[in-house]
Amino acid sequence: MNSSPLQFVSIDQALDIINKTIEEIDGFETVSLEQSLNKILAEDVYSSSDYPPFDVSLMDGYALCAEALFSEGEKEFAIASEIYAGKAVSKTFDPNQCVKVATGAAVPKPFDLVVIQEEVILKDGRIKIKGKYNKGDNIKKAGEEIQRGQLLCCKGQKIDSRLINLLASLGIHQLKVKPTLRVHLFSTGEEIKPVGTTISYGQIFDSNRIFLQNALKELGVCVEGGNIVQDDFDAVENEMNKAKKSQANLIISTGGLSVGEKDYVAKFIDKKCWIYFKKIAIKPGRPFSFSSFEGIPFFSLPGNPPAVLVSFYALLREAVAKRMGWSINPFIKFKAPIAIEMRKKAGRVEYYFGKELYNQYQRFVEPVSLKDPAGFLSALKADVLLSLPSQSTFIPKDMPVDCIRL
């Protein structure tokens, strides 16, 4: 099949091509607030009411009028009523009266201040105030926190528990969200065996697929497929056709991407896919192919586990987020000074899993391990994926480097 003229690209070119090529999946579905966790909003949401919806007492005490309290003369108030949280009172009150209110009770007009019950002297149905007060004390006014018509959240935002909390407080119980992205995932290799089986000499457990499956689930994706495909052209084609038949929104594979005799994913891509790029100037993860199979975006990762980890955080999850329609702040990127000096060869961006360190004034990042920059244990201990620039051979201590929060 055809391909773009650029087959070997820089990481910036790769991200740019992905960004320009990958389209957000079509449509939306309506879900209840209860079922909306980790989904992507397909609409802007505005508040249909004020919060709090009424002037609410923040303390147990007595609601009264500030003006009456500050006026000259007797500072005693007759208790006209008792109001508990959840109880509406429709009476009208005189400014020289007060009402006993519970925390959470609606404060009726004309009262504009709540005196806590520890600071009153109660005698014969009347109170005397001991403390000093200002208008508005211990009351949260209607709409003080959120106003009707206020923009709460936007299309492209991922729904988390704090957003659910906000929407629940306003009684918003249905949301338009993007359909859950369906990703067809498979690994390849004669030597790859599922976890839970026994391996013999030369064989290896399928850690890549388990990692990707769970990392994708963490993003809010539905993962399908899950096979280990043998090193055989027809087996790869058969798996790709399964993805097409199930109308997957995206396909991801690992392994079989290099130049070896049995690297059938690479051969399949050359023969059957439209290729955007095949290699990226990064270490690890150089063989990483982005292509399209029958209109479905196809990301093929190398088999090497560190390359899978790095390409997932540096690249793949950006593509997945774009396809999901997750456009608002999917991942945190920043620059931070490196804690030690580093050396490298020129020509590829080099990735290390790193830790964030803090002194009194500043944040630093430091590779978890120089020996295993992107190994399983380094990834486990890391907070960030840090990268050293392509053309540099020496990175002095304190030089700011690019970091991606994991």
Ligand X SMILES: Nc1nc2c(c(=O)[nH]1)N[C@H]1C(S)=C(S)[C@@H](COP(=O)(O)OP(=O)(O)OC[C@H]3O[C@@H](n4cnc5c(N)ncnc54)[C@H](O)[C@@H]3O)O[C@H]1N2
Closest CB to ligand MOO among 156 and 284? 284
Q: Which one of ligand X, ligand MOO, none interacts with residue 325, CB within 5 to 8 A by kind?
A: none
Find the residue with minimal CB distance to ligand MOO.
Answer: 284
Which residue, among 26, 10, 40, 41, has the nearest Cα to 315 in the 3D structure?
Answer: 10
Minimum Å gap between C-beta 287 and ligand MOO is: 6
- Cβ 209 to ligand X shortest distance, Å: 5
Q: How near is the Cβ of 381 to ligand MOO at its closest, in Å?
A: 20
The beta-carbon contacts of 118-127 under 8 Å, at least 24 apart in sequence, are 119/61, 120/61, 120/62, 125/78, 125/79, 126/76, 126/77, 126/78, 126/79, 127/62, 127/76, 127/77, 127/79, 127/98
How many helices and strands (H and E) does the chain possess? 9, 29
Between 40 and 379, CB nearer to ligand MOO: 379
**Nearest distance from residue 337's CB to ligand X, in Å?**
29
Q: Is 175 helix (H, G, I), strand (E, B) or coil?
A: strand
Binding site for ligand MOO (CB under 6 A): 283-287, 302, 304, 306-307
Residue 303 binds what, of ligand MOO, ligand X, none (CB under 5 to 8 Å, by partner type)? Answer: ligand X
**Minimum distance, C-beta of residue 310 to ligand MOO, in the bound complex (Å):** 8
Complex with ligand MOO: residue 80 or 257, whichever CB lies closer: 257
Closest to ligand MOO by CB, 83 or 374: 374
Q: Which does 38 bind (CB under 5 to 8 A by kind): ligand MOO, ligand X, none?
A: none
Which of 61, 58, 56, 55 is CA-nearest to residue 131? 61
Tell me which of ligand X, ligand MOO, none is bound by residue 112, counting a contact when its beta carbon lies within the kind-specific cut-off of 5 to 8 angstroms.
none
The Cα 265–Cα 270 span in angstroms is 9
Residues that bind ligand X (CB under 6 A): 187, 189, 191-192, 204, 206-209, 254-259, 263, 284, 286-287, 302-305, 307
DSSP-derived 3-state class of residue 16: helix
Q: Which does 187 bind (CB under 5 to 8 A by kind): ligand MOO, ligand X, none?
A: ligand X
> What is the Cα Rg of the chain in Å?
31
Distances (CA, A) of 317 to 199, 215, 288: 31, 9, 13
Q: HSE (CB half, 13 Å, CA atoms) of 152?
A: 28
**Closest approach of ligand X to the CB of residue 308, in Å:** 8
61-64/97-101 β-pairing: antiparallel
Q: 320 near 24, Cβ under 8 Å? A: no
Of the pair 303, 354, the CB lying nearest ligand X is at 303
Q: Find the shortest distance in angstroms from Cβ 202 to ligand X.
A: 9
Q: How far is the CB of 256 from ligand MOO (least distance, A)?
A: 13
Q: How far is the CB of 256 from ligand X (least distance, A)?
A: 5
Our CA angle for 61, 62, 65, nearest 5°, is: 145
Of 52 and 287, which CB lies nearer to ligand MOO in the complex structure? 287
Residue 258 site contact among ligand X, ligand MOO, none (CB < 5 to 8 Å, cut-off depends on kind): ligand X
Q: How far is CA 208 from CA 44, 193, 290, 378, in A?
A: 37, 11, 18, 16
Q: How far is the CB of 328 from ligand X (least distance, A)?
A: 33
- Report the partner that residue 191 touches, choosing among ligand X, ligand MOO, none (CB closer than 5 to 8 A by kind): ligand X
When the beta carbons of 184 and 286 are compared against ligand X, the nearer one is 286
Which residues have CB under 8 Å from 209's CB, separation 6+? 185, 186, 187, 226, 228, 254
Task: Choose between 153 and 192: whose C-beta lies nearer to ligand X.
Answer: 192
Coil vs helix vs strand at 230:
coil
The option from ligand MOO, ligand X, none interacting with 42 (CB < 5 to 8 A, set by class) reads: none
Contact 343, 393 (CB under 8 A): yes
Nearer of residues 60 and 232 to ligand X, judged by Cβ? 232
3 binds, among ligand MOO, ligand X, none (CB under 5 to 8 A by kind): none
From the number of C-beta atoms within 10 Å of its C-beta (0-12, 13-18, 19+), residue 379 rates as buried
**How is residue 170 written in tokens?**
């306003």
Measured from the CB atom, the residue of 104 and 389 that comes closer to ligand MOO is: 389
